Amino acid sequence: MPRDAAGQVKQVIEDWRKAYEARDVDALEALYTHDADTLLVSDGVTFIGWPSVDPALKNRMINTREMHIRLKEVDVSALAPTAAVAIATMTRDSGDATTTVHEFGALTLVLTKTDAGWRIASEHYSYRRGA
């Protein structure tokens, strides 16, 4: 993958992280494709299509007062000239001011290049539950 394209994808991922931490729904929504193939897998539940993904993203923001995300080992690979996959180790701390949930796992994002730039077409986060 050309270095400039990988840099653009990594910037989208950083914008994604910042939007979550700021709980900025508009900024987060702008980073996704808005079509029937947009995919989100969260807490074992699959949401297919933007009309399903959008409320899931909003619900996550409504139910979380604080979110801190740390990404390590971000690796971006080209799937095609207009498609890329990014994998990273992610630590996410989220809470409602009373309870904080600490998660550590693997994040996989598939991005597609659109006229507006790189956008997230698929997000999947898997984490290990506490013993």
**Nearest-5° Cα angle at 73, 11 to 103:** 95
Q: Which neighbouring-strand residues pair with 76?
A: 86
- The confidence score (pLDDT) of residue 83 equals 96
Q: Which neighbouring-strand residues pair with 131?
A: none
Averaged pLDDT for residues 78-106? 84
Tokens 């992280």 -> residue: 17
- Which stretches of the chain are assigned E, i.e. beta strand? 39-42, 45-48, 66-80, 83-95, 100-114, 117-127
CATH number of the domain where residue 88 is located: 3.10.450.50
Total domains present in the chain: 1
Dihedral angle of Cα 7, 11, 13, 14, to the nearest 10 degrees: 130
Q: Domain range holding 67?
A: 3-127
pTM of the model: 0.89
Digit-coded pLDDT (tens) for 25-66: 999 999 999 999 999 998 889 999 999 999 999 988 887 778
For residue 3, give Cα distances in angstroms to 19, 34, 82: 24, 26, 14
CA proximity to 80, closest of 5, 15, 4: 5
Digit-coded pLDDT (tens) for 99-110: 667 678 899 999
Q: What is the mean pLDDT of the chain?
A: 89
Are 124 and 108 within 8 A, CB to CB?
yes
